[in-house]
Structure 1
Amino acid sequence: MATEPTTADAADWNDGRDDPILEVRDTNVTYNEGETYVLNDVNVDVERDEVLGIVGESGSGKSMFASALLDAVPDPGRLTGDITYNRADGSSVDILELDDEELRQFRWEEISMVFQGAMSSFNPTMTVGAHFKETLKSHDRHVGEGMTFARRLLEDLYLEPERVLDAYPHELSGGMQQRALIALSMVLDPEVLVMDEPTAALDLLMQRSILQLLETLQSEYDLTIVFITHDLPLVASLADRMAIIYAFEFAEIGPREQIVGDSAHPYTRALLNATPNIDAPLAEMQPIPGEGPAPVNVPDGCRFHPRCDLATEECRTDVPTLDDVSAGSGHRAACHHKAEAREEIPLNFGVDADEAVGAPEPAGRSAASDGASAGGDDGALLSLDDVEVHFEEDQGLIERFRTEPDVVRAVDGVSLDIEEEDLICLLGESGCGKTTLGKTMIGLQRPTGGSIEYRGTDIWEAKAGNEDRRFYDIRSALQIIHQDPGSALNPNRRIVDILSEPLKHTHTNIDRVERRTRIKSLLERVGMTPASDFMHRYPHQLSGGEQQRVALARALLMDPDAILADEAISAVDVSLRIGIMDLMLELQSEFGTSFLFISHDLSNARYFAEHGDGRIAVMYLGEIVEIGSAERLIHDPRHPYTEVLRWATPSLDLESMEASDPPVREIDVPDPVDPPSGCRFHTRCPEAREACRKDTPSLDSLEDADGKVACFREDPAHDYWDSDPITDQTPGDD
């Protein structure tokens, strides 16, 4: 049932702040003729020139709040309440009273929006420059002056203006697209920038880099930023204040230091503890049980009480109000048990990971198994020997007669062994070759060079030798869990039918009853209890976490020897990631399966590798540049690129949260069609010397630690030490 909104005196909501640019009062968004609330009784001020971070799980109402600020709630939603915009000259505008033309002018000139998917925000048939010109013309701005300002914005975002303006959106990388979209949103010099998950589709290094750029832009252009995200650590380094939203209501709001270091709502504290964190002890990270409610099934009383360990009868019946935690602090929380929450739910990231009770201690690996080997080990489940995967880029008909096609070196000379019941996390930026290498490992992608063996049998020789049954058995033993479970599950079939299909092909001797018995048993084993409630649903009727559990169950039905988990938790909420990883590790032990876990997030890779006594392999432009235990890579990274990934990983430690310059000379990854000579990282590496331009480092074992690294700095006798440093300008330099 929907809870009727409560009202509050508007004077109680200004938090003592003296210059709000936006005042939101008693604001609701409803559907079904006012019966279903997807934003409930919001009262909040946005201070001029501040960064306000809005944090919550998927479906909590974050994006609806963003739409409400621009009066852009999609039909048939109904937006009610008061949203006042205060101009710098002292005049005010009631946003909800503007007519269509006034609203069209207001939305870009006063408040601008940056959406989640940059590619979907651009017209693919227009150049980026044409987007800027169209925006300027539609708001009656001088195009010449506007384009001069656009070039300045692009330069401030470390982009080459002429290259970007002349390019079509698809010709830019994801990070370049997102930065171009930020510049486009600012070309009319708005006062407020509303950003709805603007970095969700990017890897961590680009996320952190963009946040740093936003910090600079916010100061230089006197911007007010409302930054909406599900990733609390990410925005914590940028925000002045933070607001936590749960089940369409604000649960807590206050200064960043109060929200991160002294939060008073059980949900905020649980969300902090559920976030994979490289600084917290593994044993202290706990998922939040259950999932947030749907708008048609909101609990009575406190909306978090079904998932809260502190819930009492009062929580089940009485709606808490968003009240002061301490007078005059601007810190508010909607909880009946604010004091108890701080005492009963300690924050895990304040504990020393080395001293935490119950924190697992990695077992360490022998020198023979702690890194990428030369391949061909008789005991290996999968053995890659100098594997290459190169792709020719598509050409038009005329181009085929004029030029040779460009070749993308997606994977370039990788040797790696995966043992029985092994666990390897592949870590790196988008486009570095992680997924291509993973698909090659499980026989989904034919290598263009080198070999890959499964239990001593070359996979592709088996197929070429017409050993179809052997190849079929190998492919059945090597399974995949895709990044987006929603698109990996047939939307037109029920879960029971989706899971029955592989069994029909691999277990032709079992009947329908036995198939369903196996499916029911496995669904319950992956936490979908009772299974009978889920078997006859369609994928869209499941949450993101439930869809991922179905994808995991489908892979396990084949009783595989190895599973490729390709960004398998990136599509689920932060609060659910630890639970999914714990489940995968439990099932690995139970089924005796090896895992190749692909991630761009060092926190996730650290949790998975340390809990599973596995290794992390760092990839860059098609090559493995470092491999070793998670503990060693985090506390003693030897390759400069690993240090960059360590820097890019958000921390909840307030003392280290302040943004620092990225330890790279260039933000963008080089084109894999034309990778740099010598060490491929030298164009971005702050430690690079002239020797790095010429020579290619090999992946060699470390003498004083586990693992291997491809860096000349580990060889004290290398010519690197006598060559001159490369002194290209670094981002952030004057």
Structure 2
Amino acid sequence: MTVSKDNYESGLKQADPILEIRNASVTFDMDRGTSQVLDDVSLDIQRDEIFGVVGESGSGKSMLASALLDAVVDPGLLQGDITYHPTPGEDVDILDLNKEELRQLRWEEISMVFQGAMSSFNPVRPIRTHFVETLDAHDHDIEEGMERAHDILRDLYMDPERVLDAYAHELSGGMKQRALIALSLILEPEVLVMDEPTAALDLLMQRSIISLIEEIKEEYALSIVFITHDLPLVADIADRIGVLYAFEFAELGDTEEILEHATHPYTRLLLKSTPNLDSPIEAMRPVEGSAPDPVNVPQGCSFHPRCPLATEECRDRDPGPYEVNETHYVHCHHWEQAEDEIPMTDEYDEAEYGSPDIPGFDDKHADRSVTDPNAEPVVSMEDVEVHFEQENGFFDFFSDPDAVKAVDGVDLDIYEQDVVVLVGESGCGKTTLGKAGVGLQEVTGGSVQYRGHDIWDVKANGGDGMSWGEIRKSLQIVHQDPGGALNPHRRVKAILEAPLKRWNNELDGNDRKQRILGLLEHVGMAPPEDYIERYPHQLSGGEQQRVALIRAMLMNPDLILADEPVSALDVSLRVEMMDLMIQLQDEFDTSYLFISHDLSNARYMAEKTGGRIGVVYLGKLVEVGPPEQIIHNPQHPYTQALRWATPQLHTEGERTESPIREIDIPDPTDPPSGCRYHTRCPEAREICTRESPSSVGASEAESHEAMCFRAVDDHEYWDSDPIPELEAEEAEGEEAAVENR
């Protein structure tokens, strides 16, 4: 039943809150009206808990973070009450503090880790300077503070001197993020607000950061507010979760309760739309529609235009909080029917519910199988190498330049209507390999052939029946950042007309316009006459990516390199975009070389199309095969690590111990000898340090190969001695376990 405001706030009350938020609202006055970006939010943060805030882009997550520090930028107006309790019974009214008191509160009591680590550091100053300036600005002893900085950086598995003496651009994304976490802890705060701290990181680094957050919470006695658009990411660490929609909490409760018994239609649809490794692909569906405009939030329930359960009551009356149980509240009139009406993905039964009504899903997709390896490939990469020489400094004038072996001896064939998904960490060579495959990166060794013609030989000398223009037209790319790939000064019509004018000059202006309008409507951008006159900045991220995809398809290409095409989108939009790509693939008879750092997205794309997943590590293709083999029967230890690192929706049981020994990927200018993964592999033996494995059949599946000695039953690896350092680490671990007991 619905509860009164007093009873609701009483139910929100935690036993020992460190932060109390009551009726917090943020508005901005704009030319077209008042923008409500936080709407009457009430919440308690328990001392020593991790509270997860989840929602789509534009739902108000970052604005909530800013409100907690009274850091809403002008001309935003923050109203309500936010009370900080440094100790039980002590009250600090944050919104009543003057500038000096706020300065002391921020970083010393409540600190923040921002989403973009690179933009948080001054690029022309070393990392050490940021620590020193922070300590000095808050009148802390610098020598003592820097000793603490060294300890924190070591706790985050980094070399303090190397990090402190480096500039931001000299650190990897994961190292920058950890350095930012260390900086946020330097003044020993009580509360840490983390705004999308892992958004730009790959799977293994995300998992490592999550594990480190758990460790530093205990080490430094922190209360943490963890903000993310990725619900599975916080499933393992959050004690409670709040789901934001349209600038207010739609649902609030214990993590396990929310994940297993969500009662708001939006929460359930959000869970259903999230690609994961265990649920049937056919049951994963996008959340239809889009989030509301903050200037024009719908009356009644703000979710009703997208809700399959919406009634007249939802359109007329704002749902007050309903009490599911004493810790679980939901803002939905029909919460009791939601569980039956919107089954979760793990409950999906095609026999009961029928074939899913998903754009781009039909029987042809369900019947796809792995491409016949005896067919002629569209693109064939043979022993491909791409090595980059780094420039020497002035004092290194007489020494040989270092070479980054971005791709180092890769064989890969791509066939008609094929899908190959490349996965791996940032810096492993995925994008470089992909660009080599579509002729955007010249190789330094090996060959790349398009329909039997060496593409670089065609460019240099011309080809027998093949031109460079034909190759360029047939091999296209869709970039990771659609906003940066579209000319900001041209309208959608001009952007999409460009390829038609160049390659289809027989079409007149009206024919071009009608074709563009038809495609825009086909991909869900309706009415197309409205979208055709917009500039890129007037489109959402998903709409920008649709335009970029249409532009590539207008070339009628044989192969498209899709470089992280869904990573910049909300989780709720990723399935929709991948379904659209599959639909367009069938209509344009194209193939995809799809790049992703997310194994769940890779599984969805490859399994739904009968494609393959290729795992790339330090320039090597260490495993390739059908998705069911890669996901459920991985043979290379690196693939197993990626599988372990993939966030899951379910919370039963504890996650197994990390299968990697080192957090950071080795320096690509000086890769390890032998097997390049041996420095991080818990299964490595002495032979792995001196011999490089070759690809061998890894299972009964013909197209499943792995570059690992362990895939061969009678290999000498099995008689090789363990690596001494590994034996020492295992002995230390056993000693620590005995001490803990």
Q: Same fold (TM over 0.5)?
A: yes
The letter for the 1-side match of 2:292 is P
Note the alpha carbon deviations across 1:48-93, whole angstroms, 9 max, x for none: 0000000000011000000000011111111111100001263211
Among 424, 429, 443, the residue aligned to 1:428: 424
How is 1:125-144 mapped onto 2 (pairs within 5 angstroms)? 125-144=124-143
SS at match of 2:397: helix
1:502-522, Cα deviation, whole Å (9 max, x unpaired): 111112232211111111111
Any conservation in 1 of the 2:9–2:42 contact (CA below 8 Å)?
Answer: no
Which residue number in structure 2 is paired with residue 83 of structure 1? 82
For 1:456 and 1:378, the matched residues in 2 are separated by 13
Please say if residues 53 and 243 of structure 1, whose CA atoms lie closer than 8 Å, have aligned partners that are also in contact: yes
Question: What is the CA–CA distance in structure 2 between the aligned matches of 1:140 and 1:80, rounded to whole Å?
Answer: 31
Cα distance change on mapping 1:296 and 1:469 into 2, 3 Å: farther
Question: How far apart are residue 532 of structure 1 and its match?
Answer: 0.8
1:560-614 deviations in Å (ceiling 9; x for gaps): 1111110000111100111111111111111110011100111000010010000
> What is the distance in 2 between the residues matched to 1:26 and 1:337?
24
Report the TM-score, using the length of structure 1 for normalisation: 0.94
1:415 to 380, 402, 411: 411
In structure 1, the residue matched to 2:677 is: 681
1:429-448 to structure 2, matched below 5 A, reads 429-448=425-444
Map of 1:509 onto structure 2: 506
2:185 corresponds to which residue? 186
Q: Contact between 1:664 and 1:730, CA under 8 Å: does it hold in 2? A: no
Q: Match of 2:343?
A: 346
- Distance (whole Å) between structure 1 residues aligned to residue 277 and residue 633 of structure 2: 13
What pairs up with 1:571-720 in 2 under 5 angstroms? 571-656=568-653, 658-702=654-698, 704-706=700-702, 707-720=704-717
Measure, in 1, the Cα distance between the counterparts of 2:340 and 2:407: 51
Question: Is structure 2 residue 447 aligned with structure 1 residue 451?
Answer: yes
After TM superposition, give the deviation of residue 342 of structure 1 in Å: 1.3
Q: Which of 480, 494, 497 is the aligned partner of 2:494?
A: 497
CA distance 1:355–1:654, shift in 2 (3 Å): farther
1:174 lines up with 2:173 in the alignment: yes
Matches within 5 A, 1:368-379: 369=373, 379=376
Q: Secondary structure at the match of 1:297?
A: coil
Query: 527, 530, 543: which is aligned to 1:530?
Result: 527
Q: Does the 8 A contact of 1:280 with 1:352 survive in 2?
A: no
Q: By how many angstroms is 1:16 displaced?
A: 4.6
Deviations 1:667-720 (A, max 9, x none): 100011000000000000010001000100001223533410100012222221
Of residues 543, 547, 554 in structure 2, which corresponds to 1:546? 543
Corresponding residue of 2:72 = 73
**Per-residue displacement from partner, 1:446-469 (whole Å, max 9, x unpaired)?**
001110000011100001104698
CA contact (8 A) 2:624 2:705 kept: yes
Query: Aligned match of 2:385 in 379, 388, 395?
Result: 388
CA contact (8 A) 1:282 1:353 kept: no
Q: Distance in 1 between matches of 2:145 and 2:386?
A: 45
Question: Kindly tell me: are residues 302 and 703 of structure 1, through their superposed partners in 2, closer, same or farther at Cα, counting changes over 3 Å?
Answer: closer
1:144-163 alignment to 2 at 5 Å?
144-163=143-162
Out of 563, 567, 578, the position equivalent to 2:564 is 567
Aligned partner of residue 278 in structure 2, secondary structure: coil
Retained in 2: the 8 A contact 1:279–1:353?
A: no
C-alpha change, 1:450 and 1:241, in structure 2 (3 Å) is same
SS at match of 1:641: helix
Asked if the contact 1:378/1:455 (under 8 Å) is kept, the reply is no
Q: Provide the rounded CA distance (Å) in 1 between the counterparts of 2:42 and 2:195.
A: 19
Unaligned runs of 5+ in 1: 1-5, 370-376
**Retained in 2: the 8 A contact 1:700–1:708?**
yes
Any conservation in 1 of the 2:370–2:612 contact (CA below 8 Å)? no
Deviation at 1:151, TM superposition (A): 1.1
* 1:294-309 matched pairs, under 5 angstroms: 294-309=293-308
* Aligned length, in residue pairs: 717
So what's the TM-score if we normalise by structure 2?
0.94
Alpha-carbon contact 1:362-1:610 (below 8 Å) kept: no
Distance in structure 1 (CA, Å) of the matches to 2:131 and 2:292: 41
- Does the 8 Å CA contact 2:192/2:224 hold for their aligned counterparts? yes
Deviation at 1:399, TM superposition (A): 4.1
User: What secondary structure, in the 3-state scheme, does the structure 2 residue paired with 1:202 have?
Assistant: coil
CA distance in 1, matches of 2:6, 2:700: 65
| Aligned match of 2:739 | none
Alignment of 1:107 with 2:125, yes or no, is no
SS in 2 for 1:568: coil
Paired position in structure 2 for 1:3: none
* Aligned residue number for residue 281 of structure 2: 282
Q: Counterpart of 2:334?
A: 337
Q: Which residue of 2 aligns with 1:237?
A: 236
Q: Counterpart of 1:283 in 2: which secondary structure?
A: helix
Measure the CA separation in 1 of the matches of 2:395 and 2:328: 62
The residue type equivalent to 2:186 in the other structure is V
Q: Percent identity between the aligned chains?
A: 59
The 2-side partners of 1:357 and 1:693 are apart by 53
CA contact (8 A) 1:24 1:43 kept: yes
Cα deviation digits, residues 616-675 of structure 1 (max 9, x gap): 00000001000001011111000000000000111112214x344320010100011000
Q: Verify the 8 A CA contact 1:8 1:26 in the aligned structure 2.
A: no
- The residue that corresponds to 1:372 in the other structure is none
Aligned partners of 1:344, 1:351: CA distance in 2, in Å? 12
C-alpha change, 1:660 and 1:151, in structure 2 (3 Å) is farther
Measure how far apart 1:14 and its partner are: 4.9
Distance 2:351 2:311 in 1: 35
Q: Counterpart amino acid of 1:715?
A: V
Equivalent residue number for residue 42 of structure 1: 41
8 Å contact 2:453–2:466 — kept in the other structure? no
CA distance in 2, matches of 1:413, 1:469: 26
More moved, 347-356 vs 317-326: 347-356
Measured against aligned partners, the alpha-carbon deviations of 1:491-537 in whole angstroms (never above 9, x if no partner) come to 11110011111111112232211111111111122221221111001
Cα offset, 1:388, TM superposition: 0.4
CA distance, structure 1, for counterparts of residue 650 and residue 90 of structure 2: 41
Asked if structure 2 preserves the Cα contact closer than 8 Å seen for 1:10 and 1:25, the reply is no
Q: Secondary structure at the match of 1:80?
A: strand
- Provide closer, same or farther for how the CA distance between residues 455 and 67 of structure 1 changes in structure 2, counting only shifts above 3 A: same
- Tell me, in whole angstroms, the C-alpha distance in 1 between the residues paired with 2:63 and 2:85: 21
Contact 2:492 2:532 in 1 (8 A): yes
**Distance across 1 between alignment mates of 2:96 and 2:11:** 22
Shift in Å, 1:168: 1.3
1:384–1:247 CA distance, 2 compared to 1 (3 A): same
- 2-structure distance, mates of 1:487, 1:279: 34
Q: CA RMSD, aligned part only?
A: 2.1
Are the counterparts in 1 of residues 389 and 401 from structure 2 also a CA contact under 8 Å?
A: yes
Q: Distance in 2 between matches of 1:38 and 1:365?
A: 47
**Counterpart residue type for residue 681 of structure 2:** C
Output the amino acid matched with 1:667.
I
